[in-house]
Structure 1
């Protein structure tokens, strides 16, 4: 009976290690996949034609907040569509309570791109001109598809977001 129990235990451990080995090998990106992703992100930032999907919000003076997957900023050559929440102090309250976050579509904006501090990093500044106030989106985009967005608004405290960047 003891021999059977030892054999079952050894076989179980072997099976567990095999499963762990195969699952770890399947999730790693190859160098070619990383290079392709970096090229896609660079082209999307240069064109511009990318979507930033926010996963965390970092309000000034508050804890970080995990966001549902529906908050994003879509940037194309002629349009910026923003659908982001806002947490923090507003210096001027909106007339319409539904305008609490950053919910707008802009066709009048200035797009500026600069290289980041390291290779594979871009700093994108977007000045929105067709709102009733000045709003600036400062993106920090990395070649692995992650990014940060800092929003500066003259009527509100600054807020930043962390998320993923994909080419459209």
Structure 2
């Protein structure tokens, strides 16, 4: 357990440093308004799995780049909070402890209407948002760390899977025609 905590701490520092070097995407006031309204979308650009087996498989593929970060740009993966509804469409790379047999889709794809959202802002103006859906089968928590510029990091922790982290940015929800 101590080894996992140590690895998670080192990985968190890596993500923090990576987010600090990221270019700004939004005005800090826009980001604050989005978080205060509790209606925003996280768009995933990169996935960072913890499972070494997944990383080894990625290394062994022919003509694959040797990296442990999977590029998700343009794939449409997101976490959207709109009208008190949480809509999650995120890929999963890692070990599942309780797989759903007969199903080939083990990613995070669900809609929740019953969830708790808590947010805190530190002295530097960065936000931490914790989301806990109450109406889905498996217990999970979503942590979103958002910088003043809108770049963010999401960590999803579940009781039936290894944790996974995504890097991306938050933005205003897209307007849909009805």
Q: Shorter chain as normaliser: what TM range?
A: 0.7 to 0.9
Query: CA 1:120–1:106 in structure 2 vs 1: closer, same or farther (change >3 Å)?
Result: same
Corresponding residue for residue 139 of structure 1: 144
Counting strand residues as a fraction of each chain, which structure ranks higher? Answer: 1
TM-score of the aligned structures, taking structure 1 as reference length: 0.74
| Structure 2 residues without counterparts, runs of 5 or longer | 1-22, 56-67, 174-178
Equivalences for 1:28-43 in 2 at 5 Å? Answer: 37-43=27-33
Shift of 1:39: 0.9
Choose which of 18, 43, 52 in structure 2 pairs with 1:53.
Answer: 43
Query: CA 1:52–1:128 in structure 2 vs 1: closer, same or farther (change >3 Å)?
Result: same
The structure number with the bigger radius of gyration is: 1
Contact 1:139 1:148 in 2 (8 A): yes
| Structure 1 residues without counterparts, runs of 5 or longer | 1-27
Corresponding residue for residue 126 of structure 2: 121
* CA distance, structure 2, for counterparts of residue 47 and residue 142 of structure 1: 17
* CA distance, structure 2, for counterparts of residue 98 and residue 107 of structure 1: 25
**Alpha carbon RMSD of aligned pairs, Å?**
2.0
Shift of 1:145: 1.4
Structure with the bigger RCO (C-alpha within 8 Å, sep 6+) is: 2
Corresponding residue for residue 4 of structure 1: none
Contact 1:46 1:113 in 2 (8 A): no
Query: CA 1:139–1:96 in structure 2 vs 1: closer, same or farther (change >3 Å)?
Result: farther
1:122-166 residue CA offsets vs partner (Å, 9 max, x unmatched)? 000000111111110000011111000000000000000000110
4+ residue runs over 6 A deviation: none
Contact 1:47 1:77 in 2 (8 A): no
1:72-95 residue CA offsets vs partner (Å, 9 max, x unmatched)? 110135111000000000000024
TM-score of the aligned structures, taking structure 2 as reference length: 0.70
